[in-house]
Homo-oligomer: A and B are copies of this chain.
């Protein structure tokens, strides 16, 4: 087996981490039990680009127990947990990932996982692997299906579909209700703030926090910041979302205004250059900048570096930039995903649902091989419900069931007031 990781001797630590994660991922483990018995992925090669964390390990082990061969690279140069990578190698997974990859190493690793075997399924988080397969690989692809974990990746894949260049069907795992309603909101909501606090140890109570973007990630972060005592300002480009933020009790204004009064700024838009040097020059001395969006483009780090008078690292994940106006601003984790870089990423409990969807999506692609078009498909709703049902059961929550009379009531339209 081929692999490239930091240090194989970390495997024992990694195993305990994975054990800890699995204890909090009962849904995936329930699916694993079935996979182990039924081997539905037998003979399937999977190339996966995902954050190499203890939760991903639980997924990859599940796929393997289901019969698949898996090769894994990182979806972010800073997010790999090296001890987990080591543990996975001892489990027979071809891992090419380590914390702190350079940009060329990052792309080399992606290349490695599609060279080591001919992938049948491509699993991605951000669509860099999908883009690579489409741009760099020869036309005789064996790939018969893909999955995508993020909003950002789905947007890219829909653009590919629209341009007619998509070469295989892709399940937008991100669009499963049991994924985006939970992972993005509760998972990133908590872990982004965890990253900010670990990096800075600042008190959130009494601070003015600016959240750029009021999608599921943004509203998760805004709510958690409020839950910790901050006064929260939201910036948006979408008038409906802006109105929701207003009705949710947040202050809404353009970033040009918000930049003057914020103490902390968190981007979660999925777009580029949301906070630019012109805004940074408005900011208070001591302002803190963090990104919770998938790519490190939301804060204009390049512009900041070019225009700053000086830079120094003051604490792990905290760089101090002195601007030309003499004010100091603090950039966390170089503008990369703050929850993965400065903390441990999503808690296992939400990845449990996201990755239960991934496992079921892969099984679905195998079962429906040849029956799907080269399009982006939403997660089949019955699988989505399956995940919810297993999750509720695993945490001991019971719910009601419709009576026959109630089922009938929902289907008729004649009786009224």
Is A127 in contact with chain B by the CB < 8 A criterion? yes
Residue from B16, B251, B274, B417 in contact with A128 in the complex, judged by beta carbons closer than 8 Å: B417
Residue from B197, B202, B388, B401 in contact with A243 in the complex, judged by beta carbons closer than 8 Å: B388
Known: A131-B413, A155-B410, A229-B248. A403 touches B178 (CB 8 A): no
- Binary interface encoding of chain A residues 32-46 relative to chain B, with 1 for a CB under 8 A from any of its CBs, else 0: 000000000000000
* Complex-state Cα separation, A275 to B314, whole angstroms: 40
Question: Considering the complex, which residues of chain A in the window 282-330 have a beta carbon less than 8 Å from any beta carbon of chain B?
Answer: 286, 295-297, 314-315, 318
* Complex-state Cα separation, A209 to B46, whole angstroms: 39
On chain B, the residues within 8 Å of A164 by CB distance are none
On chain B, the residues within 8 Å of A17 by CB distance are 315
Closest beta carbon of chain B to A388's beta carbon, Å: 4
Known: A17-B315, A106-B417. A237 touches B402 (CB 8 A): yes
Q: Which of A273, A295, A349 has the most CB of B within 10 A?
A: A349
Name A312's closest neighbour in chain B (CB-CB): B16
State the number of copies, please. Answer: 4
Is A111 in contact with chain B by the CB < 8 A criterion? no
On chain B, the residues within 8 Å of A197 by CB distance are 190, 194, 343
Q: Tell me whether B314 and A206 are in contact (CB under 8 A).
A: no
Is A391 in contact with chain B by the CB < 8 A criterion? yes
Residue from B24, B181, B194, B249 in contact with A230 in the complex, judged by beta carbons closer than 8 Å: B249
On chain B, the residues within 8 Å of A409 by CB distance are 271-272, 297
Is A372 in contact with chain B by the CB < 8 A criterion? no
Residue from B131, B399, B416 in contact with A127 in the complex, judged by beta carbons closer than 8 Å: B416
Closest beta carbon of chain B to A155's beta carbon, Å: 7
Is A157 in contact with chain B by the CB < 8 A criterion? yes
On chain B, the residues within 8 Å of A16 by CB distance are 314-315
Is A182 in contact with chain B by the CB < 8 A criterion? yes
- Binary interface encoding of chain A residues 180-220 relative to chain B, with 1 for a CB under 8 A from any of its CBs, else 0: 01100111011000100110011111100000000000000
Is A414 in contact with chain B by the CB < 8 A criterion? yes
- Binary interface encoding of chain A residues 237-281 relative to chain B, with 1 for a CB under 8 A from any of its CBs, else 0: 111101110111111111101000000000000111110000000
* Complex-state Cα separation, A224 to B226, whole angstroms: 10
* Complex-state Cα separation, A75 to B417, whole angstroms: 8
On chain B, the residues within 8 Å of A395 by CB distance are 206, 246
Q: Tell me whether A181 and B240 are in contact (CB under 8 A).
A: yes
Is A1 in contact with chain B by the CB < 8 A criterion? no
Name A21's closest neighbour in chain B (CB-CB): B201
Q: Tell me whether A239 and B399 are in contact (CB under 8 A).
A: yes
* Complex-state Cα separation, A249 to B225, whole angstroms: 10
Q: Tell me whether B252 and A402 are in contact (CB under 8 A).
A: no
On chain B, the residues within 8 Å of A397 by CB distance are 242-243, 246, 252-253
Known: A237-B401, A247-B186, A416-B126. A226 touches B227 (CB 8 A): yes
* Complex-state Cα separation, A296 to B415, whole angstroms: 11
Name A353's closest neighbour in chain B (CB-CB): B243
Is A147 in contact with chain B by the CB < 8 A criterion? no
Residue from B77, B205, B296, B414 in contact with A131 in the complex, judged by beta carbons closer than 8 Å: B414
Q: Tell me whether A186 and B229 are in contact (CB under 8 A).
A: yes
Residue pairs across A and B with Cβ atoms less than 8 A apart, 6 shown, are A178-B243, A181-B244, A182-B247, A203-B348, A239-B388, A271-B409
- Interface of A toward B, CB cutoff 8 Å: 16-17, 19-20, 23-24, 75-77, 103, 106, 126-128, 131, 135, 155-157, 159-160, 177-178, 181-182, 185-187, 189-190, 194, 197-198, 201-206, 224, 226-231, 235-240, 242-244, 246-255, 257, 270-274, 286, 295-297, 314-315, 318, 343-344, 347-350, 384-385, 388-389, 391-392, 395, 397-403, 405-406, 409-414, 416-417
Q: Which 8 A-B pairs have the closest CB atoms?
A: A227-B227, A156-B413, A203-B347, A239-B388, A203-B349, A128-B416, A186-B205, A159-B413
